[in-house]
Structure 1
Amino acid sequence: MEAQTLATNLEQREITVRVKRFNEDKGEFWSEYKLSVDRFTQITEVLRRIKTEQDPTLAYRASCHMAVCGSCSMKINGEPRLACKTLALDVVKKFNTDVITLEPMDYFKPLKDLIVDMGDFYTRMFKVKPRLYPAEEVVKGVAEQRLKPEDQRELWKFAQCIWCGLCVSACPAVKEDERFLGPAAHAKGYRFLADPRDTLYEERLKILLDSSWRCTYCYQCFHVCPRDVEPVTTIKKTRAHTKFSKEKTDVMSTGERHVKAIYESIKETGILQEAKVYISTYGLATAITDMLHTMRNGKMKYALIREKKVNEIEQIRKLLGD
């Protein structure tokens, strides 16, 4: 029975691997390879076998093979994933095809084949000062740093970022707004912003707050993170520190008005009155300008929908703490 089970587990299946490649001489082009895999074959192993057995010119990054170093980030059948954490036959089963497509991550400039330039990513990460700055007494050795269990629980999840760049690759906001630091930088920045041992709280606020209000909450970083760090959660938590900021940018002030308008809409009616929230957030002048644009595109009817309060509104107000 054990031998039969082992034979089943090691059953081979032929797959086709299509790799989007790049070099300075030829630009972008595609290469196709065929090989057999079993249920334990990782995509990193697929790439290693292609490079050693079929095409030594293929370039890719990989190191730890256990989802710790973050170097094997790429798009696998269109999804940003770690190659070492992805089994070839899982991809075959999910997409119901024997063809696996490998591409370099979006947003990043390709250097060669699946290797991309991570320079801009590292620049954003280092902007948030990704290390602990302890008190002078601790540095001199005359005091100790202690972290309470509850603080450790708050920080631990966000300290698991491995700098793989997958969240940035999937993020639409970072592609459109150069002043948005990106989900990975916010995960790393909040990890130190919330650390009671750190001494750069005010400086970190200036670095992180404006950027945090530029996130669109698409949750792509949440879905693609291989370590379940939930970068979008750190952005939400960072926004909660806005009340402690001595100076507020226009983006921060607009964001606070938006949050307040949503709260008041739900408190008053139990639902999100989008037209009212928009006016409260951006002001009447901007609302009129956008309304004219809406009319020209034939969508004014959606803005004129009359919404009714929900039944038992008091129950919702209790949930809001009122």
Structure 2
Amino acid sequence: MSLQNEEMDVVLKIKRYSPEKGYWWQEYKLKVDRFTQFTEALRRIKSEQDPTLAYRASCHMAVCGSCGMKINGEPRLACKTLVIDMAKKYGSNVITIEPMDYFKPVKDLIVDLDEFYQRMYKVKPRLYPHKEVLEGNVEQRLKPEDQRELWKFAQCIWCGLCVSACPSVKMDPEFLGPAAHAKGYRFLADPRDTITEERMKILIDSAWRCTYCYMCYNVCPRDIEPVTAIKKTRAYTRLAKEKTSVAQTGEKHIEAIFNSLVESGKLEEAKVYLSTYGLLGSIKDFIYLFQSGKVKYALVKEKPVENISEVRKILSGDNK
């Protein structure tokens, strides 16, 4: 059988939900071909087997962000994922489908995205141009190099997959989330915008709350790299007139890492930690290290790497 005519019998094991019954699993059997997307499989289940099944889908082209869900534990767009591909990837024709994590369930695979939208609107996701532009007296154009910087982050479709996968969002209510930062940086870096200082107040503190786990990078269906937007936002900290304690600690941490590399060519974690949080701020963790017998590792004296002078040249920007 050619790949185009390939077919497979699969079992979709769907985690369902209703406010009255809570969660339960239900299985559906169907035959799929090489081109069957999960949105098509769900449509067939709803129309042919169980009209009570609830899910979201709209464009079927990976541009609306409606059909976010977990497929075999992976946050994915159902319309961009082929059933046979997932069966082959995991070596099983039984595939699990669940609602996205973090969000409050509404019914079956549908979750409440109100909080997600609130986070997105907090970053003021539109351009605030100069008054002269609004009055039609001036035409404000975007240079090609600026367009290239902004384009990737403008492609966010608000699907929520990155937030669903993000541990920092779950742990820290002050963290705006990967999608909001991608959208926020798109306007923060736009030279036509007029509220840069206000945007920095909104974004910088939150940017330092990211743990750089790269889950948003892994699950984004548009290859937007929200974590890159967060890194770029942190670079604006030096321009901010007002800095929160979180941002100040973040700057100390970066400086401590740089100094460690200059001194030894290595990341001396104990020294970096002390420089970042100070002696008093580190006491609690050093007590833990002592109790667990790991304090000896914190006291290790690192020897500089060979040719440390070359490392210092790189760090100073002198590559001659």
Pairwise same-fold verdict (TM > 0.5): yes
**Alpha-carbon separation, structure 2, partners of 1:230 and 1:80:** 15
Aligned partner of residue 151 in structure 1, secondary structure: helix
Name the counterpart of 1:186.
Answer: 181
1:69, distance to aligned residue in structure 2 (A): 0.2
Name the counterpart of 2:109.
Answer: 114
- Aligned positions, number: 317
1:310, distance to aligned residue in structure 2 (A): 1.0
Amino-acid identity (%): 69
Offset from partner CA, 1:227-283 (integer Å, 9 cap, x none)? 010000000100100011111110000000000000110111111000000000000
Q: Which runs of 5+ in 2 are unaligned?
A: none
1:290 aligned onto 2:290: no
Equivalent residue in structure 2 for 1:229, among 221, 224, 228: 224
Name the counterpart of 1:162.
Answer: 157
1:56 aligned onto 2:51: yes
Aligned partner of residue 107 in structure 1, secondary structure: coil
1:54, distance to aligned residue in structure 2 (A): 0.5
1:275 aligned onto 2:265: no
**Alpha-carbon separation, structure 2, partners of 1:298 and 1:88:** 50
**Aligned pairs (5 A) from 1:63-142:** 63-142=58-137
Offset from partner CA, 1:170-195 (integer Å, 9 cap, x none)? 00001011000000000000000000
Partner amino acid for 2:259? E
Name the counterpart of 1:10.
Answer: 5
Offset from partner CA, 1:39-73 (integer Å, 9 cap, x none)? 11111111011101111000000001111000000
Q: Which moved more, 1:302-311 or 1:16-25?
A: 302-311
Name the counterpart of 1:307.
Answer: 302
Aligned partner of residue 33 in structure 1, secondary structure: strand
Name the counterpart of 2:200.
Answer: 205
Partner amino acid for 1:263? F
**Alpha-carbon separation, structure 1, partners of 2:276 and 2:6:** 60
Equivalent residue in structure 1 for 2:253, among 258, 281, 285: 258
Q: Which runs of 5+ in 1 are unaligned?
A: none
1:168, distance to aligned residue in structure 2 (A): 0.3
Aligned partner of residue 246 in structure 2, secondary structure: helix
1:300, distance to aligned residue in structure 2 (A): 2.1
Aligned partner of residue 79 in structure 2, secondary structure: coil
**Alpha-carbon separation, structure 2, partners of 1:264 and 1:299:** 24
Aligned partner of residue 157 in structure 1, secondary structure: helix
Equivalent residue in structure 2 for 1:145, among 140, 143, 146: 140
**Alpha-carbon separation, structure 1, partners of 2:120 and 2:130:** 23
1:145, distance to aligned residue in structure 2 (A): 1.4
TM-score when normalising by structure 1: 0.96
Partner amino acid for 1:193? L
Q: Which moved more, 1:295-304 or 1:152-161?
A: 295-304
Cα RMSD of the aligned pairs, angstroms, is 1.0
Partner amino acid for 2:35? F
1:240 aligned onto 2:235: yes
